[in-house]
Structure 1
């Protein structure tokens, strides 16, 4: 593996540790990836725990779906990452986690509301898919379709993916998506069903 790949893996290992510490994934839930170049990406291996990752736990894959180096057993969700990269050439990292509040709100039929400036700036908008089995073509295709328009996608009864131009940005979006979901949950407990970040200010952020 070349130095740039090693550097990406180091970033993903650090993020994996932080993800579990913050409760965004449990045990072997969740998976991470980063684009290496126009044709290849690195993704966590099957069954890996995000807070116990080592360089040997990563697979280097082509965007056509071939394992090129590293672990010969990539995450069962590798297609989720692959297809997101195919439809979003501007995306260089995908963080897929299983955050409790975002998944719960979606399962109950509530939209995750963007309430704070950080939610509006980082999350921007939230896509959603129905439930599909993990690792399935249907899950990968539906998530990629949502990723064409959204940087954060909730997969029904499953988890969420956050996309970014860097590992850091993808992780920031994942954090802010779950914080927005937690804020929405608390607002619902208080009886509030419609408070959101001001629409005109949100539009201004997107066009800045």
Structure 2
């Protein structure tokens, strides 16, 4: 995705991500939420409460600052706005948070099976996966626990709930979200074949981290 200069362009990129996420089965209807920092600002846009991710328009986004105050846009932000706010507070390098409800990632976590990075793309984009125990959606506990995991991971699975994927821009955050679920699907398929060990070589993974 191209660099953006305006709030409208940023919202349009997030709307495209929302459409693709629903199309690919990564979230249903009004589940999940998306956000991104405004260029050159300490504010961010986040999807409004109850919005369907495949029907987003610029007017469906709320503008907020890192203090948690609404400064414009849609009147009611997503109930998960704290999840985004706390992540931005601890990760100044992150400019987009994609929170979706990927079925295989959530299922594997629920049954106690770690998601394995198997392909080069999994290793390059996902790199490592944090996990957060179940907390009610919209709660301070969920937002704080997710932010803590975000200190060391760009992909975080929220138990019995969904995932958050982070990036320096909208495109990178969504690439990570897609590869996280693809890694979960690959892990699920390996388990159905009776394999519990296949994974990207650890030595190669370490080399990617230092590249």
- TM-score between both structures, scaled by the size of structure 1: 0.98
SS at match of 1:178: helix
SS at match of 2:6: helix
Write the distance in 2 (CA, Å) between the matches of 1:181 and 1:122.
14
Corresponding residue for residue 54 of structure 2: 51
Match of 1:4 among 3, 6, 30: 6
SS at match of 1:89: coil
Match of 1:21 among 20, 23, 33: 23
User: Which consecutive segments of 4 or more residues in structure 1 shift more than 3 A?
Assistant: none
Match of 1:204 among 188, 202, 207: 207
For the pair 1:41 / 2:44, whether they are aligned, the reply is yes
1:12 positional shift: 0.4
Alignment length (residue pairs): 207
Write the distance in 2 (CA, Å) between the matches of 1:159 and 1:85.
19
Measured on the aligned residues, the alpha-carbon RMSD in Å equals 1.0
1:38 positional shift: 4.5
Structure 2 runs not aligned, ≥5 long = none
Write the distance in 2 (CA, Å) between the matches of 1:194 and 1:68.
49
Write the distance in 1 (CA, Å) between the matches of 2:103 and 2:15.
22
Matches within 5 A, 1:1-208: 4-36=6-38, 37-208=40-211
Write the distance in 2 (CA, Å) between the matches of 1:64 and 1:118.
36
Write the distance in 2 (CA, Å) between the matches of 1:33 and 1:117.
27
- TM-score between both structures, scaled by the size of structure 2: 0.97
Give CA deviations for 1:10-61 in whole Å, capped at 9, x if unaligned: 1001110000000000011000000114511000000000001111110000
SS at match of 1:128: strand
1:174 positional shift: 0.1
Write the distance in 1 (CA, Å) between the matches of 2:15 and 2:151.
27
1:194 positional shift: 1.1
